[in-house]
Amino acid sequence: MDNAIVKIEHLSHKYTSSWAIRDINMEISQTGIVGLLGSNGAGKSTTMNILCGALNQTEGDVYIAGINMREQPELAKQLIGFLPQQAPLYMDLTVDEYLEYCADLRLMPRDKIKGAMKEVKERCGIAHFSERLIKNLSGGYRQRVGIAQAIIHQPRLVVLDEPTNGLDPNQITEVRALIREIATDRAVIFSSHILSEVQILCKEIKMIEGGRIVFSDTMDAFNNYVEPHSALMNMENPPTEAELLKVPGVTKVDFLTARQVRVYFSGDQEIAERLIAASVQQGWRLREINLDKNALDEIFKQLSNQSSQ
């Protein structure tokens, strides 16, 4: 990937005698949202900590815009913004005091800080809370402040760990829109255990299980990883259960209404064609047929099981 902002090569890390991650390789392009998935203990947090420079790896290399994180950590970290699962907020500071402090930590030039603060507050929708203590903000606005500190120095890569965790539905929608807006001109790594959030936001998926990459592809490919095993049919003149079971590959039939039927089958790729052909031949007057996609949770489970075999 010529325009990669992140390049990870043969990354491995050992805690005492056991490997937390082993031979991780991935590349991430310069814009858009990439979902990082992994169950507890899979190695996801270890990978993120190494990527952000908070942990030195045992083996392998991490490059941020071509800069080796181990060899030039300060230069590499200046290109990264990070919001951990527990936002690093100082509750007794005002929003302005906190953002100025974060800008100082990022070694921003003093003459650039005020302008950066104004821009990031407007972008995150918190300008009207400039003088308010962080402890007096709602959960959703605290999360916005957390995101603001992650982007105040205009990083090229933003890493967000469970950024919608604990928010109500309205707050989740607002933060989701903010993340999309941020990703228009930089790369965002979005880590979450809520698969529906990943499905809504991300264009690519990287999944770590057992310390290794078990999936790396587009969101569409992730959704289609497990073939559908049922189909929903709407017919004007539906057949009997016995007639449907005669179609090769059909294993089970459920009548949901008088005209709507869910047909289960054994993963046969040609099942739709066979059902359509049977409808034409026998006059079922098929109006619609939809192959059901497996739930993301089921895909997650199968990929996790695959890595442990």
The string of pLDDT tens digits covering residues 243-301 is 999 998 898 999 999 899 999 887 656 788 889 999 999 999 999 998 776 666 667 77
Q: Is 7 left (phi over 0), alpha (psi -120 to 50) or beta?
A: beta
State the Cα–Cα distance between residues 105 and 234, nearest whole angstrom. 61
Residues 244-257: tens digit of each pLDDT:
999 988 989 999 99
Residues 32-51, mean pLDDT to the nearest whole number? 89
HEC readout, 94-143: EHHHHHHHHHHHCCCCHHHHHHHHHHHHHHHCCHHHCCCEHHHCCHHHHH
Model confidence, pTM: 0.76
Which residue segments constitute the domains of the chain, with CATH numbers given?
4-79+155-220 (3.40.50.300), 90-145 (no CATH), 230-293 (3.30.70.100)
- Which pLDDT does position 302 carry in this prediction? 72
- Which pLDDT does position 175 carry in this prediction? 86
Average predicted confidence (pLDDT) for the chain = 89
Q: Are 180 and 33 in contact, with CB atoms under 8 Å apart?
A: yes
Strands 157-161 and 80-83: parallel
Share of the chain above pLDDT 90, in %: 61
Residues 84-133: tens digit of each pLDDT:
888 899 999 999 999 999 999 999 999 999 999 999 999 999 999 999 99
